[in-house]
Structure 1
Amino acid sequence: MFSILSADFSKNGSSRGLKRLLSGLLTLLAIASMSACSSNPAPLKQQYDLGPLAAIPATAVTPVTSAPAGLRFVLADIQTTAALDSQAMLYRLQYENAQQLKAYAYARWSMPPAQLIQQRFKQQTSAAGGLVLQRNQAAPDTPVLQLELDEFSQVFSSASSSHAQLNGRALISKGGKVLRHRQFQIQLPARQADAAGGATALQLAVDQLIAELQQEILQLH
């Protein structure tokens, strides 16, 4: 094709030959580009959860492990904002527009955040020797924990630095009487500025929140 176009350009010595030459080159480039795109498979979607529980050293002594029999409570359904009512992994670019919540295209949670946290509470409490009860299983004076989740995202302060952001409110009641009510805002740095780094940092943030609330519940017994 190149030889034909070149010959036509030499013979006519006109702009018509140049136009044909450029048109042919653009066509070849377009075909090559489409071929390259079709040969590259689309990135696979990655799915994340909060990971396995970390082993507790035999020498560790915490309020949870020192009084496992007292760690019994009801965990009400966790309330979230509409943005968190899906499996999307959310992030914010604080250095561009912190008010814009975005979702990773090729990464998502295995369950919505409320379900992940609910499951994690049961796992952590069971591992400590305690028990998360259903309302119909609990005595009237069993503590009830209610959580409202406002933020469960990865926030980028720059293109190479990010942290987990976990915000919300916790309310602990007993016998219909509110005993504790507080807001929580937990920030933990991510080791890497991508979805995997954000998932790990959010796991640690959730575990920190669970440990804090377990201690508060134990203090009510």
Structure 2
Amino acid sequence: MESTLNKLACIALLAALGGCATKGAPTTVYDFGPLTPAAAPAATAAAALPALVVADVNGPASLDSNRMYYRLLYADAQQARPYAQNAWSVTPLQLLTQRLRARLAQAGVKVLATTDAAVGMPVLRLEADDFSQNFDSQASSSGQVSLRASLFRAHKLVDQKTFTRSTAARSADAAGGARALADSSDAIAADILAWLNTLPAALPQ
């Protein structure tokens, strides 16, 4: 009996999340929203950083699509489920690339693309390990982002570090997940800035 009730509860949640598509229904598109002012400590810490080449964020094939996914950790954590009527404006990998470059530039770093790189410039490469909205219960979810950052100079690895942030969603739906993932991405950008500031000897003056 309890198992049947749990299944019915999951079915009800899936319907609420948009797991059941309605033919002809419009798709709601999300992005990270406008760039808000950065926290003063992060901006101050990055003010002395020089120019930096920031490569496009790489990641699994599931993040190279506009589809929005979520996981029901309490039901089946290994299954990523797509929202039926919600999508990203671009892929999560593109969103992360745009946001991280924008945050670094906002903090005073001269951000360059790989095509603009000069010989000997430090290169920041980023690999997305996780970018997901995870439901701990029917009414509670969080947006988790995990990035592995590697700093290279003259083709040699200077340092590497993994950054993970999880932000509680304000609502148990796609809108709440989008906002939480944007907040987690901004928090990781601040973490990366702080990390880069600990490596002044590895960067050109």
CA deviation profile, 1:179-201 (whole Å, cap 9, x unmatched): 21122332111111100000000
Which runs of structure 2 are paired with 1:192-203 in the superposition (5 Å)?
192-203=171-182
The structure where helix makes up a greater share of residues is 1
Q: Using a 3 Å threshold, how does the CA distance of structure 1 residues 210 and 67 change in structure 2: closer, same or farther?
A: closer
Paired with 1:77 and 1:109, the residues of 2 have a C-alpha distance of 18
State the partner residue of 1:165: 144
SS for the counterpart of 1:191 is coil
Paired with 1:160 and 1:128, the residues of 2 have a C-alpha distance of 36
- Please report the TM-score for the alignment, with normalisation by the length of structure 1: 0.74
The answer as to whether partners of 1:144 and 1:174 remain within 8 angstroms in 2 is yes
Letter in 1 for 2:126: L
Letter in 2 for 1:53: L
SS for the counterpart of 2:32 is coil
State the partner residue of 1:81: 60
Q: CA deviation at 1:142?
A: 2.7
How many residues are paired up? 179
- Rg (Cα) greater in structure: 1
Q: CA deviation at 1:63?
A: 4.4
Percent identity (aligned) = 40
Q: CA deviation at 1:64?
A: 2.8
Q: Does 1:143 align with 2:122?
A: yes
Q: Does 1:156 align with 2:135?
A: yes
Paired with 2:81 and 2:23, the residues of 1 have a C-alpha distance of 24
SS for the counterpart of 1:219 is coil
Paired with 2:119 and 2:41, the residues of 1 have a C-alpha distance of 27
SS for the counterpart of 1:79 is coil
Deviates further, 166-175 or 90-99: 166-175
The answer as to whether partners of 1:122 and 1:131 remain within 8 angstroms in 2 is no
Deviates further, 67-76 or 205-214: 67-76
SS for the counterpart of 2:108 is coil
Letter in 1 for 2:60: T
Q: CA deviation at 1:205?
A: 0.6
State the partner residue of 1:33: none
State the partner residue of 2:41: 62
SS for the counterpart of 2:171 is coil
State the partner residue of 1:8: none
Q: Does 1:48 align with 2:30?
A: yes
CA RMSD of aligned residues (A): 2.1
Letter in 1 for 2:172: A
Paired with 2:81 and 2:48, the residues of 1 have a C-alpha distance of 43
Letter in 1 for 2:63: L
Letter in 2 for 1:133: L
Structure 1, gaps ≥5 residues long: 1-39
Paired with 1:162 and 1:61, the residues of 2 have a C-alpha distance of 29
Deviates further, 40-49 or 73-82: 40-49
Q: Using a 3 Å threshold, how does the CA distance of structure 1 residues 139 and 215 change in structure 2: closer, same or farther?
A: farther
Structure 2, gaps ≥5 residues long: 1-21, 201-205
Q: CA deviation at 1:121?
A: 1.7
Q: Does 1:176 align with 2:155?
A: yes
Q: CA deviation at 1:167?
A: 2.2
Q: Using a 3 Å threshold, how does the CA distance of structure 1 residues 182 and 144 change in structure 2: closer, same or farther?
A: same
